[in-house]
A and B are shown apart, each in its own frame.
Chain A
Amino acid sequence: MIEFKNVSYSYNDSIGDNAAAVKDINLKINKGEFIGVAGHTGSGKTTVAQILAGLIKPCGGTILVDGIEYSDYKAAARVLRSKVGIVFQYPEHQLFEETVYRDIAFGPKNKGLSEEETDKCVRRSAALAHLKEELFEKSPFELSGGQKRRVAIAGVLATEPEVLILDEPAAGLDPSGRERLWGELHKIRKEQNTTIILISHSMEDLAQNAERIIVLNNGEKYKDDTVSNIFSDAALLKKCGLEIPEITKVIKLLNDGGMNIPENIFDITKLSDVICQRLGATL
């Protein structure tokens, strides 16, 4: 659906330093995928997300959207902006309207939807983001941190993006808030076939939710593979300043001790089942 061929971007700072943010990125985003993006601070995750969302124009390379090649970045950005929604880090800082309802309605209204269509949009996205309608007339600033974040996510959903990018959406949320957020994302994906791109520093969150992981390192795409292949490769992750999930660490230690457990289990209940089986076999 979206394809990057040798896409590059560099930031020109005022001192004249030409800092390349991303170099020669090749990637493909397919309809309905749940993709995780991992990488150390400064690896280019946010830059790639901004190019995908049509917010910044690359300095080189080709972008294809639905098979159409765009060498005119302005045209590419316009198409991308109509298809891709992005939830930035700490999106609650970007709420600005007087009421929750108006904040969520801002996107659809700007798209030129009628009052009635906008209303439908607002209610549907609020429901997807688990926001009760009784909050609609409140000021967003009266809400709790978790609620504010859901308002911001609902605001992006209301523009009905085909691709939803979330940059560290769980930062600062408590464990139950994180769980709820992951549940919502899977529901959105299931109900609307939305492609989800999750950028996160938490290897646990990526392992439990995504199907494919793109690892960025110093602005380059280092690896693009299934969750199992990425997270069982401790050496690769360490090289990129990342880590294997805690549960994978346990499995590796168990296997060092002579147990034979597949390393691609990221769910605790599933792992406990497998351990029980192995223990049963020794009996």
Chain B
Amino acid sequence: MIQGNLYPMMTQLFEKIVHQVGSVVLGKEPQIRLALACIFARGHLLIEDLPGIGKTTLAKVLARCMGLKFQRMQFTSDLLPGDILGMSVFDQHAATFTFHPGPIFTQVFLADEINRATPKSQSALLEAMEEEQVTIEGETRALEAPFFVIATQNPLEQAGTFPLPESQMDRFLMRIHLGYPDRKAEKEILRGTGAEPALAALQPFMDKTGVLKIQAAVEQVHVSDTFLAYLQDILEFTRTSGTFQFGLSPRAGLSLSRAARAWAYLHGRDHTLPEDLQQMLPWVAGHRLRSGTDLTEFSKDRLMDILKKVPVPV
């Protein structure tokens, strides 16, 4: 019905990946879709949730489906930047310093409980995320594209943690919650033997070139003037309505646009619609906005209620 459906293949592939990942990470299809959109928009993902919800499994499955390398690292307060990035060690035989790359040299990097590490270590990771390169001992080393970080935060335990400042939260394209599985999904989890066998049985759908191609195609998705007007209206609203402590930054605006493009692309369109933006808003803007009155974050529904006051331009 809708013309310009240039990528029907993409829709099918998308559904297949979602289905496949969903067969391992049970009952989490909406979050899987968001995570995929995040990857294809070249963004990084922050998952705020309790331990044991399936964050690691999700990251692993995503990596495997797309044929990407995977590393997981538990962040602790005594973690040093070198532990993440790697360091040069003196090789007595060769009489030279040899660089031993850290776990960051991968394609899907899971940083567990990122708020337990000191700000110094956090910023080492964040630089890698932003620049897709790391600088160690004066030497800049590029990370292998695609590079995708999934960081997790435990929202409950605050003792001995270093919560990410707002400016650094901004580096994550999306922030999502996994939440408990529903009763049906949990029954399947409890009946099964764990995710490992299913994970081993997974066949990758693509390799890293496939991911890079999709990322490049997402950048080609068209954003029209009407769409940009809507986006700018929303940015303007967050800055001037007085509901929020701070409005959205231009980087946040860019993130919204990228996420919406990825979402449009994954739904087989070469153009963005206001609906794409609305779908992405709570996940892209949620961790960037705080209430102007009590500085708490808004729930997803409340945030959408507020932002839906901005009329869609016709």
Co-complex (A, B) = no
- Using a CB–CB cutoff of 8 Å, the interface residues on chain B facing chain A are none
- Using a CB–CB cutoff of 8 Å, the interface residues on chain A facing chain B are none
